[in-house]
Amino acid sequence: MLSSRTEEDVMLMVHRETLTGLVREYGELSRTAPARRTPDVLRRLDAAAYTLCVSTGTRDVHAALLAARHQLRDARPGDGSVHAR
């Protein structure tokens, strides 16, 4: 029997450890004092925000952080997977 799911119904999910690392990296970089935000720190912050958005299917870093935390909360213990509600 064929599934009735379409490509629009399927979203790839980022591995839990990867998503955890992205959230951690963005948090650490965003807490860098403005006076210490070198061009490299700003580039890394922008890259982390972009990757979080792509990884969560969002367009805003704040929405991406909410989605990431939601996905991490719903992760099934033991197998490292993440499931959608």
Among positive and negative, which fits the CA dihedral 73, 78, 79, 85?
negative
Q: What pLDDT does 14 receive?
A: 83
Give dist(CA 74, CA 2) in Å, integer.
28
81: pLDDT confidence band, cut at 50, 70 and 90? very low
Mean pLDDT across 52-77: 90
pLDDT in tens, 2-61: 555 555 555 667 889 999 999 999 999 999 999 999 999 999 999 999 999 999 999 999
DSSP letter for each residue of 1-16: ------GGG------H
